[in-house]
């Protein structure tokens, strides 16, 4: 139990820190901690439900704790602004949505709604892999020879390219996208992966997300990109995904548990040579995901890691 809500100043003034505080119903605390552990292993938890005034001296307990809502709990993490804090907020929002957890997210004392604009100060152009450069829609950038520019305004959707999970998939897309391939991105967030795949030469890209906000943002990014071979629609994992033809590449940048959940059904959307690019997997859960793929008739053809995160390229065995 923590009885002090630390501020950014408590962590020193030499570096800039962002506090991300997620508040959920008490019965969702364990799941929330699991999601927050994907961001950092150093978590601060506020759970006052175990205070028993029959065994405590009330006058020795801070009044704010005595009056705290015992039906909710909060998990707090501090991140450097240089450590993907921008994409982390959207990443968490997407994961809680996938898990149907009603989470209130606050960033450095700023409500999530206000964060939609204030985070732009920290989002700068970033080169990923050999070719792709993700550039904020409002930033000027001088393109170098051979670069593929992807302009994004992620809004409240996950996907600016700063998070390790997104970078890993984009690096794999550079390797596996060939002319005329058909691509599906399940859990698309801002639409960044489908847009990247199209710019790398894919013939058709279909993006899907369960979150209407993400679908709205993705469609705006697709329109602004001027691409006519990318679409985005609402789908609960694979349930509403178009089955008219198999996909050559299926991207799933979600979380380990959700990937495991969709693995038994994903084969019907593939041909014999199709590749699944699965990401959003913390290294500690990678073997669980790999075992699930193997049990369901798949083999791992490539594994890449970055800062505690793992992405897999997977084919039918």
The domain locations on the chain are: 8-120, 157-316
Confidence of residue 110 (pLDDT cuts 50, 70, 90): low
Please tell me which residue, 29 or 88, carries the higher pLDDT value: 29
Which tens digits make up the pLDDT trace of 248-261?
999 999 888 889 99
Judging by DSSP bridges, how do beta strands 270-282 and 44-46 pair with one another? unpaired
Please tell me which residue, 1 or 100, carries the higher pLDDT value: 100
- Yes or no: domain 157-316 corresponds to CATH 3.40.50.150: yes
Is residue 10 scored above 60 in pLDDT? Answer: no
- Give mean pLDDT, residues 288-304: 97
pTM beyond cutoff 0.75? no
Quote the pLDDT of residue 9: 42
- The dihedral built from the CA positions of residue 149, 155, 160 and 165, taken in this order, carries a sign that is negative
Quote the pLDDT of residue 118: 60
Is residue 41 scored above 70 in pLDDT? Answer: no
Quote the pLDDT of residue 59: 39
Which tens digits make up the pLDDT trace of 123-151?
678 888 888 998 888 888 888 888 999 88
Judging by DSSP bridges, how do beta strands 126-128 and 132-136 pair with one another? antiparallel
Rounded percentage of the chain residues whose pLDDT exceeds 90: 40
| Euclidean distance between CA atoms 119 and 199, whole angstroms | 26
**Per-residue tokens: 250:** 């299926």
Strand-pairing partners, residue 184, are: 206, 250
Confidence of residue 51 (pLDDT cuts 50, 70, 90): low
Judging by DSSP bridges, how do beta strands 204-209 and 270-282 pair with one another? unpaired
Judging by DSSP bridges, how do beta strands 270-282 and 247-253 pair with one another? parallel
Is residue 70 scored above 90 in pLDDT? Answer: no
Multiple choice CATH, 8-120, 3.40.50.10470, 3.90.1010.10, 3.30.70.120, 1.10.10.10: 3.30.70.120
Pair 253, 186: CB distance under 8 Å? no
Chain centroid to Cα 208, Å, comes to 14
Pair 18, 108: CB distance under 8 Å? yes
Q: Which of 226, 84, 101 is nearest to 165 (CA)?
A: 84
Is residue 85 scored above 50 in pLDDT? Answer: yes
- Give mean pLDDT, residues 12-29: 75
């Amino acid at each position: 139990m923590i009885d002090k809500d630390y501020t950014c100043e408590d962590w020193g003034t030499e570096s800039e820190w962002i506090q991300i505080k997620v508040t959920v119903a008490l019965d969702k605390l364990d799941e929330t901690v699991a999601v927050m552990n994907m961001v950092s292993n150093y978590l601060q938890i506020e759970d006052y439900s175990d205070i028993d005034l029959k065994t405590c001296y009330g006058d020795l307990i801070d009044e704010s704790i005595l009056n705290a809502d015992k039906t909710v709990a909060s998990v707090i993490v501090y991140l450097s602004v240089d450590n993907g804090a921008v994409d982390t907020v959207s990443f968490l929002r997407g994961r809680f949505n996938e898990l149907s957890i009603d989470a209130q997210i606050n960033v450095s004392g700023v409500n999530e709604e206000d964060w939609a604009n204030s985070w732009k100060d920290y989002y700068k152009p970033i080169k990923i892999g050999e070719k792709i450069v993700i550039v904020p829609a409002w930033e000027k950038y001088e393109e170098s020879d051979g670069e593929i520019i992807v302009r994004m305004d992620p809004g409240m959707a996950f996907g600016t390219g700063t998070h390790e999970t997104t970078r890993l998939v984009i690096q794999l897309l550079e390797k596996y996208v060939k002319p005329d391939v058909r691509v599906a991105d399940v859990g698309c967030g801002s639409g960044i992966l489908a847009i990247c795949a199209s710019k790398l030469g894919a013939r058709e890209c279909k993006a899907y997300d369960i979150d209407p906000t993400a679908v709205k943002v993705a469609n705006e990014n697709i329109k602004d990109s001027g691409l006519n071979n990318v679409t985005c629609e609402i789908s609960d994992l694979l349930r509403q995904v178009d089955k008219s033809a198999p996909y050559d590449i299926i991207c799933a940048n979600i979380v380990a548990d959700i990937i495991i959940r969709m693995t038994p059904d994903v084969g019907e959307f593939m041909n014999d040579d199709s590749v699944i690019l699965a990401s959003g997997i913390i290294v500690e859960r990678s073997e669980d995901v790999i075992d699930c793929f193997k049990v369901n008739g798949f083999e791992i053809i490539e594994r890449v890691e970055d800062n505690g995160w793992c992405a897999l390229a997977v084919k039918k065995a």
